[in-house]
């Protein structure tokens, strides 16, 4: 078996590539197993205008390519493959195992940055119009809908927060929810109701999104809503629809090995990126149910790299592993 790695980074996106940049500059020669869909959710994003350093904005895929190239420039080794299983149980200073199919890699430290996925409605037109009117982040995209008629789909605190933020830009914001009662806290519902251009439409659910008729890639123009009690449908003219029904952390790989919360987000220790196992760190949207921004994910990746570097500096290699290091 080849010599073990100093650190393996599982996943990519802003967190993974920032961790790769920092560990590479620390001469740890990180191995980044970035996944088939490298770049994370920003590969599905068009214009990014709120990431520092891009005064004119940048396309999400272009930004991910920049981060990827920067990490590689300093020596990060990038493998576009999918980690299939891990064994993270070891004593401090011991080795962890990471597999890509039948190939096993040994490593002294692991940074997990597998991210999260937007929870989708699964209705016709949603995927086709993603980036052309359908969005999953009002904080990211609200400015593109200044003086437009928009809607938010969801009934939790996140939906209310997104609606309040979007209302600063949109001409109107309609919150669509399948029930008359909301999962959101009473105070968040009251705050949303107090905003003049926020309206509520319950109990309705989205049946489909539609673009204007004609050939070519047309933007979102209407949404068909169905009353969940009567079954009757009606059409609204909108140019922006924001889906706020939750996220699913991509933590299946480490379930049963790392501590997670009830929703599957990996728990970290205090302000660090340390997980419940020594030598294993987690970063990005995988640990963040609250902010989920590219800049916060990148900052989290930086912290994970610094935590891993300190761990490798301060924790001696176990005697059983000396011969292989």
Active site residues: 137, 140-141
Q: Are strands 247-249 and 116-118 parallel, antiparallel or unpaired?
A: antiparallel
Any residues with CB less than 8 A from the CB of 89 and at least 6 apart, and which? 96, 257, 277
- Alpha carbons 170 and 150: distance in angstroms, whole number: 7
- Alpha carbons 325 and 312: distance in angstroms, whole number: 13
- Alpha carbons 110 and 189: distance in angstroms, whole number: 41
Q: Are strands 233-237 and 220-227 parallel, antiparallel or unpaired?
A: antiparallel
Closest CA to 40 of 18, 61, 71: 61
Residues 207-218 as b or e (16 or more Cβ within 10 Å = b): bbbbbeeeeeee
Taking a C-beta distance cutoff of 8 angstroms, is the pair 240, 133 a contact?
yes
- Alpha carbons 253 and 70: distance in angstroms, whole number: 27
Any residues with CB less than 8 A from the CB of 242 and at least 6 apart, and which? 135, 136, 137, 138, 141, 150, 151, 152, 153, 162, 166
Taking a C-beta distance cutoff of 8 angstroms, is the pair 272, 278 a contact?
no
How many C-beta atoms surround the C-beta of residue 256 within 10 A?
Answer: 6
Taking a C-beta distance cutoff of 8 angstroms, is the pair 51, 63 a contact?
yes
**Sequence-ordered strand ranges (E) for 132-214:** 134-135, 149-153, 172-176, 198-201, 204-211
- Alpha carbons 147 and 168: distance in angstroms, whole number: 9
């Amino acid at each position: 078996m080849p010599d073990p790695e100093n650190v393996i980074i599982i996943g990519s996106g802003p967190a993974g590539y920032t961790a790769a940049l920092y560990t590479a500059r620390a001469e740890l020669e990180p191995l980044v197993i970035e996944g088939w869909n490298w770049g994370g959710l920003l590969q599905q994003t068009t214009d990014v205008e709120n990431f520092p350093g891009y005064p004119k904005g940048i396309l999400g895929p272009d930004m991910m390519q920049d981060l990827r190239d920067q990490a590689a420039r300093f020596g990060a080794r990038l493998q576009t493959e999918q980690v299939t299983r891990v064994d993270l149980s070891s004593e401090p200073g011991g080795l962890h195992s990471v597999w890509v199919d039948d190939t096993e890699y040994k490593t002294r430290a692991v940074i997990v940055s597998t991210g999260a996925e937007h929870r989708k409605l699964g209705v016709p037109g949603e995927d086709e119009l993603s980036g052309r009117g359908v969005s999953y982040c009002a904080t990211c995209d609200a400015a593109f809908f200044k003086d437009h008629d928009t809607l938010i789909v969801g009934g939790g605190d996140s939906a209310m927060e997104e609606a309040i933020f979007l209302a600063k830009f949109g001409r109107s914001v309609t919150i669509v929810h399948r029930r008359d009662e909301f999962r959101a806290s009473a105070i968040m519902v009251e705050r949303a109701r107090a905003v003049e251009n926020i309206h509520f439409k319950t109990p309705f659910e989205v049946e489909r999104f539609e673009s204007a008729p004609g050939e070519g890639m047309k933007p979102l123009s209407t949404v068909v809503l169905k009353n969940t009690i009567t079954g009757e449908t009606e059409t609204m003219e909108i140019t922006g629809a924001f889906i706020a029904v939750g996220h699913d952390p991509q933590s299946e790989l480490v379930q049963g090995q790392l501590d997670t919360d009830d929703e599957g987000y990996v728990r970290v220790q205090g302000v660090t990126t340390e997980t419940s196992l020594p030598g294993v760190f987690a970063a990005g949207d995988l640990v963040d149910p609250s902010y989920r921004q590219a800049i916060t994910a990148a900052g989290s990746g930086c912290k994970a790299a610094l935590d891993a570097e300190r761990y490798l500096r301060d924790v001696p290699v176990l005697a059983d592993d000396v011969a292989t290091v």
